[in-house]
A = this chain, B = another copy of it.
Amino acid sequence: MRATKLRRIQSGLPTFFEQMSFNLLHTSSQSKARAGVLQTDHGNIETPIFMPVGTAGTVKGVHLLELQQDIGAQIILGNTYHLYLRPGTSLLEQAGGLHRFIGWNGPILTDSGGYQVFSLSDIRKIKEEGATFSSHIDGSKHLFSPENVMDIQRSIGADIVMAFDECTPYPCDYKYARESMELTHRWLERCIAHFDASTPKYGYKQLLFPIIQGSTYPDLRKKSAEYIASTNREGYAIGGLSVGEPHADMYAMTDLVTDILPIQKPRYLMGVGTPANILESISRGIDMFDCVMPTRNARNGMLFTREGIINIRNEKWRSDLSPLDAQSELALDNTTSKAYLAHLIRNKEMLGAQIASIHNLHFYLWLVKEARKNILADTFEPWKEEMLDKVQRKL
């Protein structure tokens, strides 16, 4: 009995006492691309999926109704680091969690704050206990530990909680990468112990996803993936990629770890990426993505479309009165001309950033929805090749 359970855990198959939260519907016959459904208490998520980033309780420039109705977001991401500093867990608890605070009824995933500690805070120190850092807002001192980061995410009330990890920069020497990975693994044990000893605060289930590290070193990534897989959690993330390494390295590491991770659990590639990155990673077995690119680049006037990339600040669009994308189902894509958006972006009008953000997020959600359709029809690989040409083209 015990041996059977262990084998089940290792294979990722559900044990008899465990409720299935991910249904794998189909895997491509020509690649590792998969279509599935991830169940949360705030609704199902059809994978592969892209998660719009709602840093501090808002996807920048986008109304909730637009996220739901125009963009078709199925899950959004919040940043633990930002939410912890502002509005803070006390207010979030008073509100009954982040969902109620911001009025979003769908699933939410929160990162662990580790990435922001390392990227935003000037002063930080990593110890066995955790990471001390000073707030980028007011310089105040804080500690993130595996335990309190679990507590914070319980207070936020995310449907999917990320383990606290150290995200190594690129490049990163082997010794640092190995020691950091080992620290991340020790932190993970503490995360799991603390998470499992606590209960959700708002009556719905929270899932915990551990994070694989190991920089761009195949042996470290293999070791980390094996260790992370052995924890038998509800899903697994790949961290420490999309931090400046060559795309080939990112794809190689992704390929390597998805061969190790159990088939029956969702895989989340953190912080990725361009439309091409997403398509390539789907074909390497990734189910979930998040990235600030569609909204951040939108604010600078870069539009992702099914025919290529538009830099709306280029002179050629200035008097182009054709719609942003006449093939799109998004109303704004049909009613907004390139010239009007160019005018708004050039003049730093908020509405420009708003329209471009909705456009890009709608496109990202369209892309993963089309990917899913093609996976289910087992036509993903030829469709992907065709799309790769288009989405990387500069218009």
Contact = CB atoms under 8 A, between A and B. Distances in A.
A83 to B, nearest CB: 10
A205 to B, nearest CB: 24
A157 to B, nearest CB: 15
Contacts of A94: 319, 321
A355 to B, nearest CB: 8
A346 B85 CA distance: 12
A344 B332 CA distance: 25
A343 B87 contact: yes
A5 interface: no
A31 interface: no
Contacts of A337: 95, 101
A199 interface: no
A312 B75 CA distance: 29
Given A350-B350, A351-B63, A354-B63, A58 B336 contact: no
A62 interface: yes
Interface in A85-112: 86-87, 91, 94-95, 101-103
A135 to B, nearest CB: 13
Contacts of A353: 350
Nearest to A137: B347
A294 to B, nearest CB: 15
Interface of A: 56-58, 60-64, 86-87, 91, 94-95, 101-103, 318-319, 321, 332, 335-337, 339-340, 343-344, 346-347, 349-355
Given A86-B346, A101-B339, 18 more contacts: A56-B343, A57-B343, A58-B349, A58-B352, A60-B349, A61-B354, A62-B351, A63-B354, A64-B335, A86-B343, A86-B347, A87-B318, A94-B321, A95-B321, A95-B337, A103-B336, A103-B340, A350-B353
29 contacts: A56-B349, A57-B343, A57-B344, A58-B349, A58-B350, A58-B352, A60-B349, A60-B350, A61-B350, A61-B351, A61-B354, A62-B351, A63-B332, A86-B347, A87-B343, A91-B339, A91-B343, A94-B321, A95-B321, A95-B337, A95-B340, A101-B337, A101-B340, A102-B340, A103-B340, A350-B350, A350-B353, A350-B354, A354-B354
